[in-house]
Structure 1
Amino acid sequence: MTKKIVVLGVSGSGKSLIGKNIADKLDYPFFDGDDFHCQANVDKMRQGTPLTDEDRKDWLATLNTILTDNPTAVIACSGLKPEYRAMLRKGLDDITMIYLKGTIDTIWQRHQKRDGHYFNGREMLESQFATLVEPEKDEALVIDISQDASAVLNEALSLLSKK
């Protein structure tokens, strides 16, 4: 079984929920990437301003350090572009990425049910979809999120057990 897991997807895809549940099942520590954004990034997102590559650089380096410094870890991180995923993987061999794939309509419906999250508005979600370069099948395990959360979790655990 892989020791380092990154759960990828746009905001509202279920990264935190699925990542936390995977971590609980495997008895690995869980780190929500959102918790490691600097205040300037949080403020931008609250205002509905999408982050730039430059905004994400130090954040991704911090998440890579968490993966490097922990013998086991599950991290939830959008990982929207191949270069972001490469930054997360830097210096690591034993890492598995899980991409939670969904349509903008499915994810927007979920967003509208969230309370208190700083990610602000449909335009922000659309910007994430515009930035997204979906991982290839050899880069990440791909799971369709149109099914319920327990089915997504079970599929993730099943696929991870084969790693």
Structure 2
Amino acid sequence: MKPKKILLMGVSGSGKSLIGSLIAQRLAVPFYDGDDYHPEKNVKKMRQGIPLSDADRQGWLRTLNRLFVNNDEVVIACSALKNEYRETLRQNNEDMIIVFLRGDFDTIWSRHKQRTDHYFNGEDMLKSQFETLVEPTLDEAIFIDITHNAEDVVNAVMRALQN
């Protein structure tokens, strides 16, 4: 049985968008990138290098929760850095599977430096995400090491989802 609703979480630059879209293709389900659903005021803050507050994220998380609830099968990429954010996403969506794309600061920062034209910008912003991150428990999420290439990461996720 294939999973119905999958959340790919992790800090910015962990590969959520790429890996999520590839997993959705393999499963033949819709993919939504949470970044596309930030209100303009959030995007503006991030472009200026200002980290988002919990209050900034609330409406955005509720929007993503509605995407989960309104789709029978879906893959959504969202940082989901704190337990309370994941709880918002899980409301009326108890069968959601969380995949945590885990990597260290240096690996992810090296990827960030290669990005062009992305509104999430700067080393301080990434440091802020690592400081905010409350890793899920092993009972809450599937942990995937992102130090490998995208195909290997996708294969690791697919294997983990079958268990």
- Shorter-chain TM-score above 0.5: yes
Structural mapping, 1:123-142, within 5 Å: 123-142=124-143
Q: Work out whether 1:71 is the aligned partner of 2:85.
A: no
Farther-moved stretch of structure 1 (34-43 vs 86-95) = 86-95
Q: Which residue of 2 aligns with 1:52?
A: 53
Deviations 1:67-93 (A, max 9, x none): 000111100000000000000001112
* Separation in structure 1 between the aligned mates of residue 139 and residue 78 of structure 2, nearest angstrom: 18
Q: Aligned-pair distance for 1:50?
A: 0.2
TM-score, with normalisation over the residues of structure 1? 0.98
The residue that corresponds to 1:37 in the other structure is 38
Amino acid in the other structure paired with 2:7: V
Where 2:80 maps in the other structure, the secondary structure is coil
User: By how many angstroms is 1:130 displaced?
Assistant: 0.3
Corresponding residue number in structure 2 for 1:155: 156
What secondary structure sits across from 1:51 in the alignment? Answer: coil
Q: Distance in 1 between matches of 2:142 and 2:37?
A: 24
- Alignment partner, residue 81 of structure 1: 82
Runs of 5+ in structure 2 lacking a partner?
A: none
Q: TM-score, normalised by structure 2?
A: 0.98
Distance in 1 (CA, whole Å) between partners of 2:94 and 2:107 is 33
Q: Does residue 94 of structure 2 align to residue 93 of structure 1?
A: yes
Superimposed CA distance per residue, residues 107-128 of structure 1 (whole angstroms, 9 cap, x where no aligned partner)? 0000000111000100000000
Q: Note the residue ranges of structure 1 that are not aligned, 5 or more in a row.
A: none
SS for the counterpart of 1:150 is helix
Is 1:145 the counterpart of 2:127? The answer is no
Could you report, residue by residue, the CA deviation over 1:15-66 in whole angstroms, capped at 9, with x for unpaired residues?
Answer: 0000000000000100000000000000000000000000000000000000
Report the 3-state secondary structure (helix = DSSP H, G, I; strand = E; otherwise coil) of the residue aligned with 2:156: helix
C-alpha distance in structure 1 between counterparts of 2:56 and 2:123, whole Å: 20
Structure 1 outlier segments of 4+, above 4 Å = none
